[in-house]
Every structure is written in C-alpha cells, then in structure tokens.
Amino acid sequence: MNALFKTVGLIGKYKSPEIAVPLLALGKFLEARGVKVIIDGLTAQHIGDSRFPVHTLEEIGRDAELAIVLGGDGTMLNIARVLAPFDVALVGINQGRLGFLTDISIDTMCETINAILDGSCVTEERMLVEAEVFSGGRKVFGVLAFNDVVLSKGLKGSMIEFEVKIDGRFLYALRGDGLIVATPTGSTAYALSSGGPIIHPSLQAMALVPICPHTFSSRPIVIGGDGVVEITLRSAADARAHFDSHSHFDLNNGDRILVRRYKHTIRLLHPTGHDYYSMLREKLHWTEFY
C-alpha cells in the first residue's frame, strides 16, 4: 500500500440514500487493502448502519491523506471548499455521467482506486478564490469559491451599473446583467455559457466575463492569478453576489466585492492516462476527424 494514504475519508452526495451500496462496498475494499476508513457525518446519516468511524469534514481534512467523494461535480465543489485549508488529496467518483471533476466511473471505482493507492495516478493542483463583500467600508461577508464569483441583477430584471478595478487600477464601468469572475475550474461552467474562454486548470488565472453587457465592445478578459479584482456597485437595483451558486449575498449601492486567489490549492487525483483535452471533447461534444 502507498504509505501516503494510510487513512481515507469517504464522502457521499448529500441526502442520497442510493449512494449507500457503492460507498460501503468501497469502504470494505479499502479495509481489505489495509487502509483505515473514516466516513463523513452527514453521509453516515443516509447510508444506514456502518462500522466505519464517523468524522466531520474538518476532522477528515485533518486526519485523512485522501478523501474520496461519491456524487457529481456539485458535490465535489462543496467538499473542496471545506477541505481547501487542509493538505488532503481529493478523488471524485461519479454516479452517472462522468463530470469535469468527478471523472471515475462508479462501475470501475475499486479497480481505479486500487491503482491510485499504488501511486498510479495523475496529480492536478487547482486554485480557488476568496471573496469579500464590503459595505460602508466594513467587511460584511466572506467566502471561498472554487468555480466563480458572480455579480448579477435581481428578480426585478433591471440592469445594474458597476465599475471594475484590477490591482487598484480602473478597468471599465459597465451596465448590464452582471459579471462573472471565474477560476480555471469555473471557466467551463457559467462563464463558458456566457461566452468566456476555457482556461487550462494548470494555469493560475481568472477570467472576467460580462453578462449581457449594454455595449458591443465589452469582451471577456483573462488576468493573472495574483490579480485582485474589485467590483463597486453604482446602481445596484436588487443585485446579488453568488459564490459557486452555493452562497449568496444581497448588494446595495456602493458595496464592493474583492476577489483574490486563495492561499491554498485543491489537489485532485485522476486515473493514469487522464487527458484534459479528451475530457473537453467528450463533455462539450467536440468533433474529431479520422
């Protein structure tokens, strides 16, 4: 057994009892490999009786060298944010169609995990961003995002007005439906559907993608990962800030959002032979010539 993975945490999709059978099967397989298995507390509530010790996510981050997530990309996003401060590797197993982050089939999970335990895998470091909201000069909200930070108009449908600075230098003022600040991971999510570029996950960069700007000249721009993005609301209407579509914050005129790279990265492990470009072709249905 690879000495790097003495303790493995198992985490399943929230409120998904159907994950019980494959998760418990994987746990038994890991035990047979001589690995100590611990299980997330919320997962344990929905899989029935289990002999595995139950831990919080934070305890898994502290105690495990590897965390295996059974679910989809949304589950992985949620878990990655919590485990980001800990140096724990992540592996994603998908229940259905393979995802951008969860790229191991549930049908071949034991075979693939066996190879990973033997050290046969591809390691990938991915950046996150931390976002802060300031109102009246006072910090009122802070959160991590793995995919993106999105400023958007509210339910009233009115356009919002805001200005953007990079490292304190004025970039532009814009009227429109909002702005997406995406990580390389998030570049294949909302930002992609809004016309943004795909950024290879090995890059330390952020994409700024306007949402339905009220001008023909606005285009997405990619900045370095060390840049600090500052967005100031000039006409907020009922604007909101969204963080990975997980956390939300209502905004008012004059509120500022600061977005910068988080000091820790996420370490993803993929099966040997993992090819990012092949995955893009499959997920985005790009054609190939033969």
Q: What is the pLDDT of residues 50-80, one digit of tens each?
A: 789 999 999 999 999 999 999 999 999 999 9
Domain-terminating residue out of 86, 119, 152: 119
CATH number at residue 233: 2.60.200.30
pLDDT score, position 46: 84
Tell me: do 96 and 193 sit in the same domain: no
Number of domains in the chain: 2
Which tokens in the block code for residue 168?
């304190």
- From the first residue on, what is the mean pLDDT of each consecutive set of 10 residues in the chain (290 residues)? 82 90 95 96 85 95 97 94 96 86 93 95 96 96 97 88 98 96 97 97 97 92 97 93 94 97 97 93 81
User: In 108-228, where do the E strands start and end?
Assistant: 121-135, 138-145, 148-152, 160-166, 169-176, 178-182, 205-211, 221-224
Structural domain span for residue 75: 7-119
pLDDT, position 85: 95
Whether 159 and 221 share a structural domain: yes
Query: pLDDT tens digits for 183-229?
Result: 999 999 999 999 999 999 999 999 999 999 998 889 999 999 999 99
| 104 and 138 in a common domain | no
Q: What are the structure tokens assigned to 115, written together?
A: 């190879």
Contacts of 216 by beta carbon, 8 Å cutoff, 6+ apart: none
The active-site residue out of 40, 49, 63, 73 is 73
Both 193 and 242 in a single domain? yes
Whether 73 sits among the annotated catalytic residues: the reply is yes
What's the confidence (pLDDT) of residue 288? 67
Domain shared by 59 and 85, yes or no: yes
- Angle of helix 20-32 versus helix 109-117 axis, rounded to 10: 30
Can you give the pLDDT at residue 154?
80
Distance between CA atoms of residues 167 and 224, nearest Å: 11
Q: With respect to residue 282, please indicate whether it lies within any of the assigned structural domains.
A: no
Can you list the pairs that 136-140 forms with residues at least 24 positions away whose Cβ atoms lie under 8 Å?
A: 136/254, 140/249
| Tokens found for residue 222 | 């990619």
Whole-angstrom CA distances from 139 to 67, 72, 148, 182, 191 are 33, 33, 20, 22, 27
Distance CA 36, CA 49 (A): 18
> Domain holding 106: CATH number?
3.40.50.10330
DSSP code at position 197 = P
Cα 30 versus chain centre, distance: 26
Residue 229 contacts residue 223 (beta carbons within 8 Å): yes
Kindly state whether residue 278 falls inside one of the protein's structural domains. no
- Residue 108 domain flag: yes
